[in-house]
Structure 1
């Protein structure tokens, strides 16, 4: 009858209008926004994921920061033939491959303790040439009130003379008398003042305990820490 025809016509017209409005809405709204809206609706009720902020980088790559009024340091010996030694002090790389001032033998950086600034850096080859004497002079000429930071790369013992060992021992080293061919060795010393007893000052490694990572060479070792600035 006429009433049913009218209802069907109205329903068809409403369906066409709804389809057209949907088509028009999809054409106007960007696809990315539509996908984002659908995704947001799907995520309603889920617990928000809270991500911790990335850890703040500390001086000399320490895990935790030094307290105010302290110097940060990190000494890393060489590892194998290719992995060069590094000395970092107050987040400044004093000796490194990138700086081009690291070499085979014993690497030394001298730092003015009052200012925290580097005075001089040098490396002394203990495999080829006679550099034990110049190294002894370099150490003895370090001014009072300075820090001496020492690390080995490759061999630091073959041409190391007793005079040089004695000069380093007078700064507080015990392991310098035990250093062997290609031993990994790190040492920090103060000249003209005393470091706190709790500071780790020296480490040495004679053997490869890293599953032959460096083809029989001793693995690298390091010491790091914080030194109060008010010692002198």
Structure 2
């Protein structure tokens, strides 16, 4: 004999309640299940937890260890976009700050405290190279030197200037020339070659931009000077 519509509806309700209770018991009894991981829709009254994103200084891929400074350098792109420098999450030089120029852009940072001491740009195409030479000779001890090229860093580069950069730990200053791309981080009292340097020669056969090699980007963690 067929069940009445009222009986059929009651049976469906009982089945639904049974399934709901069984599911709840299963979730409660499942070993290792974390109720906090359940993500229910908003209409059920639960709001998903906020996902935490680890923020690093200067946007590095990973945080630097204790007693290390975070940095990121970018050379200029042809003669269109200027270079940028970030140190310990502080943008020292950039096109946005309007304090970069054609040639070599240099920032001096205290190697112990991380304090920015000076920043200057030197026109190496039509400027006076003796200004850069004087600047490099006056760098205090225990100072980090951040360098980023823009457009042309090498036309008026003298042998004396190349030697000063070499003494700061550069491996490529000796060959820096017209429209080369260069980023570098060295130090006044460095006893060996710096591991923080990238260089691209201006080469018509491999240039990314017409007349210029591609821009360079370099990031890393440099140890704090500890006495």
Same fold (TM over 0.5): yes
Unaligned runs of 5+ in 1: 1-38, 42-47
My pick for the range that moved more, 66-75 or 212-221, is 212-221
2:169 is matched with which residue? Answer: 172
CA-atom RMSD, angstroms?
2.7
Kindly state the Cα deviation for residue 40 of structure 1 after the two structures are TM-superposed: 5.3
> So what's the TM-score if we normalise by structure 1?
0.71
SS at match of 2:213: coil
Post-superposition Cα deviations, 1:179-218, rounded to whole Å, max 9, x if no partner, equal 12111001111113558x8x73211012479x86532311
Aligned length: 184
2:92 is matched with which residue? Answer: 94
- The 1:51/1:179 distance shift into structure 2, 3 A limit, reads farther
The counterpart of 1:70, out of the listed 68, 71, 80, is: 68
The counterpart of 2:77, out of the listed 63, 76, 79, is: 79
Kindly state the Cα deviation for residue 168 of structure 1 after the two structures are TM-superposed: 0.8
User: How is 1:35-74 mapped onto 2 (pairs within 5 angstroms)?
Assistant: 53=51, 55-74=53-72
State the alpha-carbon separation in 1 of the partners of residues 197 and 97 from structure 2: 24
User: Does structure 1 conserve the Cα–Cα contact (< 8 Å) formed by 2:168 and 2:190?
Assistant: no
SS at match of 2:155: coil
Computing the radius of gyration from Cα coordinates, the structure with the larger value is 1
1:221 is matched with which residue? Answer: 216
1:160 is matched with which residue? Answer: 157
Post-superposition Cα deviations, 1:114-145, rounded to whole Å, max 9, x if no partner, equal 11110000010011122x11111101101111
Kindly state the Cα deviation for residue 228 of structure 1 after the two structures are TM-superposed: 2.5
Kindly state the Cα deviation for residue 110 of structure 1 after the two structures are TM-superposed: 0.4
1:11 is matched with which residue? Answer: none
State the alpha-carbon separation in 1 of the partners of residues 70 and 104 from structure 2: 22
- The 1:190/1:212 distance shift into structure 2, 3 A limit, reads closer
User: How is 1:1-232 mapped onto 2 (pairs within 5 angstroms)?
Assistant: 53=51, 55-130=53-128, 132-193=129-190, 200-207=195-202, 214-232=209-227
Unaligned runs of 5+ in 2: 1-41
